[in-house]
Chains A and B, each alone.
Chain A
Amino acid sequence: MTLVKTKIGRRAFIRNTGLASGGLVIGFSWLASCKMTPEQVNSLPKEWFELNGFLKVGDNGMVTIMSPNPEIGQNVKTSMPMIVAEELDVAWKNVMVEQAPLNTDIFTRQLAGGSQSIRQGWESLRMAGATARHMLKDAAAQAWGVPADEITTKDGVLTHEASGNSAGYGEMASAATSIEVPEEVQLKDNGNFSIIGTDKKNVDGKEIVTGKPLFGLDVYKEGMLTAMIVHPPAFGMKYKGMNADAVKSMPGIKDVFHFEVYPEGIEKQWSDQGGIPELVAIVGNSTWECMQAKKSLEVEWEQDSTAESTSYHEEALAELLETPSETPARKDGDVDAAFAKAAKIVESTYSAPYLAHNTMEPMNFFAHVTPEKAELLGPIQTPEFAEKTVAARLGMPLEKIDIMMTRMGGGFGRRLYGPFVIEAAVISQKMNAPIKLVYSREDDMTQGTYRPSYKVKYKAGLDENGNLIAWHVRGAGTNDDLIFENRFPAGAVDNYLAEKHSLQTNVTTGAWRAPRSNFVAGAEQAFMDEVAEAAGKDPLEFRLELFDRAINNPVGDPEQNDYDPERYAGVLKLVKEKANWGAETGKARGVAAYYCHNSYVAQVIELEDGGDMPRVDNIICAVDCGIVINPLAAKNQIEGGMIDGIGHSTYSAMSFEDGKPQQSNFDTYRLIRHSEAPKNIEVHFVDNGIDPTGLGEPSLPPAIAALSNALYKATGRRFYKQPFINDKPPLVG
């Protein structure tokens, strides 16, 4: 047992907070709208006893666990409550899960981003369960007149062996509410887990496959109007004027007006990035009527800043790749001197376009703003920040703003940025009515907040024995400087230089699943293959040699390197074994490994025979994310991430002409489909008992390089420019 202080999220463990009465949750009739199955109704307790903000125990032993973080498909609504249930020591079949509303008094970091929900929630979730178990044990000890530390728990049952006493949690729940919250609690040892590390299916699975209302777009309320927005048709343009009279009299239309989302002087949060300051709103009775009005409405726009095109972005980024940085991000040794004496030099440039997030559920939000309060409901990854801007924009105090998260039809970083929450609130305030703001797919895809466009140039020097003696990387991105200077191979090469540039543009950008890594990993790990080939070495063994160097004789201060070379090498060794690397399979294969979001992933991709762009036949993947909470869901995340990386690097791109997005829907923006997806995927986890780290993002970045390295083996061509489907690289050699 590990003894820990209950210091994290201390307020969560104090009873009789706002949640004790069920206030916020019950305030929204949303949750009640999901019908329960007959078994659930029969198993509902007569009374619930709340032991802390994370959980309540029913008189029949059922337990409700609140899932604090937004659910975007990363499965935290299942895996976070599993951690609480583990420490509470309750049977999973007796657990019901509820999405918690935003409540910063109780929960820490209610945010979906950076693959951090589990890593940063780990301690407080365990404590929530352990604290409640402690209180139940104390209650039983008092009832039975025995020492609490002689009482054991298992599957929601308290037992005192010596006296022969035994009781379910439900029997002690009422008494436990008057037990003092412990100052410190005992956590289970890793080896004693019975829920963590077992396959648990998605808690919303049944509702999903039966089409129940779970998502923001599914919110319909009494008297609710539908709202849509019209935004400028191109970046660099702003609102000038309109004549909306004819459109206002169209069937079902209530109002059409211009509004400021962000008036001058309003205090913004980082989550407001990409917000368009002025928009036009169309409000009506139904979605289709609003869509029809939108087609008829003519708005005048005027040029506000430069009209940028993709050709400009590409030329400007290319120019930055030829521009030395006056302040290199990292410099070890002397790359120039090393290149001068190198036996071989390898040099390559990689590039990738802007990408849209394209969550399947477009942006939307419900808002009902009255002078007394603002009730907001919908899909947002950053509710805490959205709440602050809503308060500032409406001129209302924070405590009058309630935000509840729905399940989200995808996130991928897009819903970190919530200008649509502010837009919904402003429209509702103006209409003095409950409204649901709905973005059309076209609004969503052409609004901005894109994955930046990138270019990176690598140069490597090898000595006569094929040892890597110099590595120079210079990267550039639109509104983003791309390079992680302290990641591999920093620390493994004597002469190392990393430089980075950012190109300021008015095409808005934001975090997109595995920011920066989603491009730079594909480039770096593809280049590593070229260098290994030039060195005459096996690409996997070449990487392991470099990790040996970083382990045994690191360059510079090892603390400066933000990766652990042993764990990095560990996933490569695991994938080597599982893929039987080196054996002749008759298939074109590529390997890659990457570290991001505190986790390590290595992959071997095998292609089918034939064609210019052969399909992925098989992926063997090794992952070190520490303790795996839910192996079933973890595999799902890893699979999805790899398909995401393969799909976008092969097929997807956003481009611009005079600031106007050239893709606005799935007829022009290509996403990977069934017949293009990998045929088989196997995932292996390193079992090391280390505290858990990220899973939602780390499998995406290396998949791009494993694919392009395999494509080289299959086609004899090195792919440098994404999307690969449009690249026509020459045959090598």
Chain B
Amino acid sequence: MATFTLNINGTKQEVDVDPSTPMLWVLRDHLNLVGTKYGCGIAQCGACTIHLDGTATRACMLTVSSVGNSEITTIEGLSEEGDHPVQKAWLEVDVPQCGYCQAGQIMTASALLEKNPNPTDEEIEMAMNGNICRCGTYTRIKKAVKLAAKS
């Protein structure tokens, strides 16, 4: 066990965990931030996507010991009131079905738009390809990303 001071959603948080613990489980089991989801544990499905210094990153394979002073943003910290343009677009298009993968999809989409405010369909698909949606909401996700890009 070791103590780590993490910068999460703009707040310093201290955790005492095994250094090999992935950020996914630090967030969920130790910090009560459960919006970041477990789907595969091997960075194949994207359900655990967070922002690490603004870059979409899979929390399931990011060990707590490798984070250092980097800034972590989770779905809970994306906006104060759930009114980030991507979140608003998701509601407007009524994207979710079961909803489980959507926090990860939103985190990937918001990181994309931060770097590329006006992506083409192909750029959206390439950026989002690491996020699986088992319910098949893909066409609406693309619609919502384009809607968010406009706003």
A interface residues with partner B (beta carbon < 8 Å)? 72-75, 199, 201-202, 204-206, 208-215, 217-218, 220, 226, 251, 286-289, 291-292, 358-362, 407-412, 440-441, 632-633, 636-637, 639-644, 647, 665-667, 671-675, 677-681
Q: Which residues of B contact A647 (CB under 8 A)?
A: 136
Q: Which residues of A contact B131 (CB under 8 A)?
A: 674
Q: Which residues of B contact A199 (CB under 8 A)?
A: 94
Q: Which residues of A contact B139 (CB under 8 A)?
A: 639, 643, 677-681
On whether A643 and B138 interact (CB within 8 A), knowing A210-B82, A213-B34, A675-B129, the answer reads yes
On whether A215 and B100 interact (CB within 8 A), knowing A286-B25, A410-B135, A440-B41, the answer reads yes
Q: Is the interface of B mostly helix, strand, loop or mixed?
A: loop
**Contact among A205, A220, A291, A641 with B94 in the assembled complex (CB-CB below 8 Å):** A205
Q: Is the CB of B99 within 8 A of A673?
A: no
Beyond A202-B96, A361-B37, 15 additional contacts (C-beta under 8 Å) are: A73-B98, A210-B79, A211-B75, A251-B18, A288-B25, A289-B18, A407-B98, A407-B99, A440-B41, A632-B94, A639-B137, A643-B136, A643-B138, A674-B125, A675-B125
**Contact among A214, A286, A407 with B30 in the assembled complex (CB-CB below 8 Å):** A286
**Mind listing 18 A-B residue pairs with CB under 8 Å?**
A73-B96, A75-B97, A205-B96, A209-B90, A210-B78, A210-B79, A211-B36, A287-B28, A288-B20, A360-B100, A361-B39, A408-B98, A641-B136, A643-B138, A666-B44, A673-B132, A674-B128, A674-B129
Q: Is the CB of A72 within 8 A of B98?
A: yes
Check: B76 CB closer than 8 A to any chain A CB. Answer: yes
Q: Is the CB of A644 within 8 A of B136?
A: yes
CA A72 to CA B96, docked complex, whole Å: 11
CA A407 to CA B124, docked complex, whole Å: 29
CB contacts between A and B, total, < 8 Å: 187
Q: Is the CB of B134 within 8 A of A211?
A: no
CA A297 to CA B138, docked complex, whole Å: 40
B interface residues with partner A (beta carbon < 8 Å)? 1, 17-18, 20-22, 25, 28-30, 32-42, 44-45, 47, 74-76, 78-79, 82, 87, 90-91, 94, 96-103, 106, 121-122, 124-126, 128-129, 131-142
CA A201 to CA B88, docked complex, whole Å: 13
Rounded to whole Å, the gap between the CB of B149 and the closest CB of chain A is 16
On whether A671 and B132 interact (CB within 8 A), knowing A209-B87, A211-B76, A636-B94, the answer reads yes
On whether A201 and B91 interact (CB within 8 A), knowing A73-B98, A212-B35, A677-B139, the answer reads yes
CA A585 to CA B141, docked complex, whole Å: 27
Q: Which residues of A contact B40 (CB under 8 A)?
A: 441, 665-666
Rounded to whole Å, the gap between the CB of A626 and the closest CB of chain B is 21
Q: Which of A251, A286, A637 has the most CB of B within 10 A?
A: A286
**Contact among B99, B103, B132 with A204 in the assembled complex (CB-CB below 8 Å):** B99
Q: Is the CB of A360 within 8 A of B98?
A: yes
Rounded to whole Å, the gap between the CB of A67 and the closest CB of chain B is 15
In the complex, residue of chain A having the shortest beta-carbon distance to the beta carbon of B124: A674
Q: Is the CB of A673 within 8 A of B129?
A: yes
**Contact among B1, B17, B18, B99 with A409 in the assembled complex (CB-CB below 8 Å):** B99
Q: Which residues of B contact A212 (CB under 8 A)?
A: 35
CA A210 to CA B139, docked complex, whole Å: 21
CA A214 to CA B102, docked complex, whole Å: 12
Rounded to whole Å, the gap between the CB of A157 and the closest CB of chain B is 29
Query: What 8 A-B pairs come out closest when comparing CB atoms?
Result: A211-B35, A73-B98, A409-B100, A643-B136, A211-B75, A677-B138, A208-B99, A666-B44
Rounded to whole Å, the gap between the CB of B140 and the closest CB of chain A is 7
Q: Which residues of B contact A667 (CB under 8 A)?
A: 42, 44
Q: Is the CB of B91 within 8 A of A360?
A: no
CA A72 to CA B33, docked complex, whole Å: 22
